[in-house]
Amino acid sequence: MGTHGVPAKYGGFETLADFLCQHLGGEFDITVYCNANKYPKREKEYFGVKLKYLKLEANGFKGIIYDFLTYCRAIFYSDIILLPKPSGIWIYDPVKILNWKKVIVNHGGLNEWEREKLSKLQKKWAKFNHHVAAKFADVNIADNSIYQKSLKENFGASSLLIRYGGDHATKYPIDDRRFKNKYQFIQDDYAVSVSRAQLDNNIHLVLEAFEKFKKFKIVLISNWDISKYGIDLKHKYKDHSNMILLDAIYDKQELDYIRGNGLIYIHSHSRCGTAPRW
């Protein structure tokens, strides 16, 4: 619970949930709670996993209500509750003392409470949630060793280190009929980068670099319209000859076609869980 749902159509936490469904759906009785606004078809199952929908957004202030309502249901039907992120956890994690359900929290993203996109109040709120999660969760999970150390230093919390897995990108041939005509740049050398349009993903730095770098193009895929940051960048660089700015692509095969045939991949995120490696 705590994600927009599956199949993954938003970000890293959803991708994690998606792979858990694919690989564990036949071994465990799993339920995934989904944001109904993102899934108009509302399938009942996914890789044998049950899907339950709620007509609320899974982030922002509404995300707190979304998480709380799904938690209230989960405590009656589940033995273990997995939270890919600890936002809003101050409400429901202590409640587990009363129902004895096992709670596992994945702390994704290095020091979430320091993200540049957050206001001072939001940073305090985020750190408070991580603090409560670290103290009350039965198991804390960090996806890199730097973050594992941070949880210990900031909250005195022990954690398991589980790096992200999954076959995240598959290479498709350039002459694939489904995509060849749509993406004609595929014939040439290009760099590719994929990220949400938020400040700490440093899209602006990538685009500024390719203003000066002319050896090959940058193909940058993002959900530009979710923020003023993204809207402004797309407007500024949309006609630049060395840049191809594509709207978010959630069809994995189509996305892999672009990623798999690029000359290089640029990972520009500064705060996501997979960023720190040393």
pTM given for the model: 0.77
Domain contains 171: no
In a domain, residue 168? The reply is: no
Instruction: Tell me which residues of the chain have a pLDDT lower than 70.
Output: 87-99, 109-111, 165-168, 272-278
Q: Are 224 and 245 in contact (CB under 8 A)?
A: yes
Quick one: 200 and 243 in the same domain? yes
102, part of any domain: yes
Please name the residues in contact with 258: beta carbons below 8 A apart, sequence gap of 6 or more: 179, 183, 186, 192, 219, 221, 246, 249
Residues whose CB is less than 8 angstroms from the CB of residue 134 and which lie 6 or more positions away in sequence, other chains included: 105, 107, 140, 151, 154, 155, 156, 157, 159
Taking the C-alpha atoms of residue 188 and residue 78, their distance in angstroms, rounded to an integer, is: 51
pLDDT value, residue 110: 64
Q: Do 212 and 103 reside in the same domain of the chain?
A: no
Tell whether 147 and 73 lie within a shared domain. Answer: yes
In-domain check, residue 175? no
Based on the fold, state whether residues 145 and 192 are members of the same structural domain. Answer: no
Instruction: Please say whether the beta carbons of 269 and 116 come within 8 A.
Output: no
pLDDT at residue 278 in the model: 33
**Half-sphere exposure of 108 toward its Cβ, with a 13 Å CA cutoff?**
21
**Cβ proximity of 190 and 210 under 8 Å:** no
Q: Which residues in 181-214 are b (16+ Cβ under 10 Å) and which e?
A: eebeebeeebbbbbbbbbbbbbbeebbeebeeee
- In which domain, by residue range, is 210 found? 184-265
Whether 143 and 19 map to the same domain: the answer is yes
| 153 and 193 share one domain | no
Last residue of a domain, one of 112, 146, 161: 161
At residue 148, the 3 state secondary structure works out as helix
Query: Does residue 44 sit in the same domain as residue 116?
Result: yes
Provide the CATH number for the domain around residue 234: 3.40.50.2000
Is 130 a domain residue?
yes
Please check whether residues 68 and 152 belong to one and the same domain: yes
The pLDDT tens digits for 17-42 are: 998 999 999 999 999 999 999 999 99
Q: Are residues 43 and 140 in the same domain?
A: yes
Q: Identify the pLDDT of residue 72.
A: 84
User: In terms of domains, do 111 and 152 share one?
Assistant: yes
Q: State the DSSP H helix or E strand holding residue 54, giving kind and residue range, or none if neither.
A: strand 49-54
71 in any annotated domain? yes
- In this structure, are 22 and 157 located in the same domain? yes
**Residue 170: inside a domain:** no
Assess whether 66 and 155 both reside in one domain: yes
- State the pLDDT at residue 276: 41
Residue 256 lies in a domain: yes
Q: Number of structural domains, the chain?
A: 2
Q: How far apart are CA 188 and CA 74, in angstroms?
A: 50
